Amino acid sequence: MQPALTLAARSPILRNAMATLRIPDAPPADHLPDGTPLMSMDEAMQVLSRDERFMATVYALRTLLVEKGILPAEELDYHFRQWAQKHKANRS
């Protein structure tokens, strides 16, 4: 069995990359892409339930990983399905 490769070892682009790469066409942090002002973090925390905050966090992390090219969407989907299958098996 081969040892698992780190993300940097699998991706020559990431070997020397910083984790804070900017998306070239990213909108300003205080506006949506259409120019609409974005709500504050405090307001977002107040209007979302605990479950919705968790979903928003997962959405944000998944979006960053895919848009920055760190992981392809298919790999994230695979790991999601794999976890669900293991979790389902543990329930039985």
Q: Which residue has the higher pLDDT, 61 or 92?
A: 61
pLDDT of residue 31: 80
Measured at the CA of 78, the angle between CA 18 and CA 25, to 5 degrees, comes to 40
pLDDT of residue 1: 47
What is the spatial distance between Cα 27 and Cα 37, in angstroms, rounded to a whole number?
11
21 near 68, Cβ under 8 Å?
yes
Q: Tell me the pLDDT tens digit for each residue of 22-66.
A: 555 655 578 887 888 989 999 999 999 999 999 999 999 999 999
Kindly state the percentage of the chain with pLDDT values over 70.
Answer: 70
Q: What is the mean pLDDT of the chain?
A: 80
- What's the pTM? 0.58
Q: Which residue has the higher pLDDT, 10 or 64?
A: 64
71 near 65, Cβ under 8 Å?
yes
Domain spans of the chain, in order of start: 40-92
Q: Please name the residue that has the structure tokens 């709500």.
A: 39
**How many CB atoms lie under 10 A from the CB of residue 38?**
13
